[in-house]
């Protein structure tokens, strides 16, 4: 449930804002207006809230929560409408069975808007944070053997789903995420052909050493050459995170 609140203010628009909110079902206790929007109405709520936001968007008392957690009042509900609702409508209009896929030939995680963690191993592996690809979530069980932490991976993906409220889409299936993750390998061997170690610098017994903390994929030579050409032609556009 999305809950929007604002308090009494001296603004000349206060009464109009209050009347609009109460017209949408808000409660007023004499000091605070509380508008609760149930999940089934959230996909289209932005259209009704837009007029209200024109009055209250700059008020310091304006607050919103979703499932009890604070969210940006405007940006959150706009994202639900602009992303989830529009995507739902597009699918129903086109009736394309691949609409929810990440690409024409890539099912992805089951929803095209899950983008925080990459499922494939395409592109350069020149990144520092260990949260970009599916294989980054795990631990070494041997020098060259990396075990994928599938429960953690599922947790991280579902965290993005919750943050974006993607589950509000009637076509979203939470089970699809689990199915995709379960079909990933349980272990990845660091063979310096497909995968290599990712090191950080630390101290062991007072001596500075390179310590393996994660793994990175190795792009095929043809793909890597293409990436390097792109970077060389326009280096300003590429910053590694």
84 falls within a domain:
no
Structure-token pair, residue 68? 């009890």
pLDDT tens by residue, 91-104: 999 989 899 998 88
Beta bridge partners of 138: 148
Structure confidence at residue 225 as a pLDDT band (50, 70, 90)? very low
110 falls within a domain:
yes
> Residue 231 pLDDT more than 60?
no
Q: How far apart are CA 214 and CA 146, in angstroms?
A: 8
If asked whether residues 239 and 121 sit together in one domain, one would say yes
Tokens 């989830």 belong to which residue?
84
In 3D, which of 84, 74, 97, 100 has the Cα closest to residue 41?
A: 84
Q: Longest C-alpha distance within the chain, in Å?
A: 69
Look at residue 227 in the predicted model and tell me its pLDDT: 47
Q: How far apart are CA 53 and CA 73, in angstroms?
A: 9
Look at residue 239 in the predicted model and tell me its pLDDT: 42
If asked whether residues 237 and 206 sit together in one domain, one would say yes
148 falls within a domain:
yes
Structure confidence at residue 234 as a pLDDT band (50, 70, 90)? low
89 falls within a domain:
no
Please give the full DSSP string across 159-222, using - where no structure is assigned: HHHHHHTGGGSTT--HHHHHHHHHTS-SEEE--SSSEEEEEEEEEETTEEEEEEEEEEE---HH
Rounded mean pLDDT, 56-80 = 95
If asked whether residues 214 and 137 sit together in one domain, one would say yes
Range of the domain at 47: 2-79
If asked whether residues 205 and 109 sit together in one domain, one would say yes
If asked whether residues 62 and 170 sit together in one domain, one would say no
> Residue 238 pLDDT more than 50?
no
If asked whether residues 145 and 198 sit together in one domain, one would say yes
Rounded mean pLDDT, 63-85 = 95
Rounded mean pLDDT, 1-24 = 95
Q: How far apart are CA 211 and CA 73, in angstroms?
A: 44
If asked whether residues 41 and 132 sit together in one domain, one would say no
Look at residue 232 in the predicted model and tell me its pLDDT: 54
Structure-token pair, residue 52? 């209200």
As a whole number, the mean pLDDT across the chain is 89
If asked whether residues 166 and 237 sit together in one domain, one would say yes
Look at residue 144 in the predicted model and tell me its pLDDT: 95
Structurally, the chain folds into a number of domains equal to: 2
Q: How far apart are CA 155 and CA 176, in angstroms?
A: 13
1 DSSP 8-state letter: -
Look at residue 134 in the predicted model and tell me its pLDDT: 97
């Amino acid at each position: 449930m999305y809950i929007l609140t604002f308090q009494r203010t001296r603004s000349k628009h206060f009464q109009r804002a209050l009347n609009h909110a109460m017209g949408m079902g808000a409660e007023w206790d004499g000091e605070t207006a509380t508008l609760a929007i149930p999940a089934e109405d959230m996909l289209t709520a932005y259209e009704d809230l837009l007029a209200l936001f024109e009055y209250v968007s700059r008020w310091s008392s304006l607050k919103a929560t979703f499932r009890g957690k604070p969210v940006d009042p405007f940006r959150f509900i706009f994202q639900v409408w602009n992303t989830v609702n529009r995507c739902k409508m597009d699918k129903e209009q086109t009736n394309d069975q691949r609409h929810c896929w990440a690409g024409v030939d890539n099912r992805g995680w089951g929803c095209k808007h899950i983008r925080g963690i990459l499922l494939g191993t395409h592109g350069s592996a020149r990144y520092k944070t260990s949260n970009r690809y599916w294989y980054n979530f795990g631990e070494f069980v041997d020098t060259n053997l990396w075990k994928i932490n599938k429960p953690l991976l599922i947790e991280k993906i579902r965290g993005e789903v919750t943050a974006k409220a993607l589950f509000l889409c009637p076509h979203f299936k939470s089970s699809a995420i689990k199915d995709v993750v379960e079909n990933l390998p349980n272990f990845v061997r660091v063979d310096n052909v497909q995968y290599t170690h990712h090191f950080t610098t630390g101290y062991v017994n007072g001596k500075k050493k390179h310590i393996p903390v994660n793994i990175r994929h190795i792009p095929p030579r043809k793909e890597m050459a293409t990436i390097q050409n792109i970077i060389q032609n326009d280096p300003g556009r590429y910053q590694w995170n």
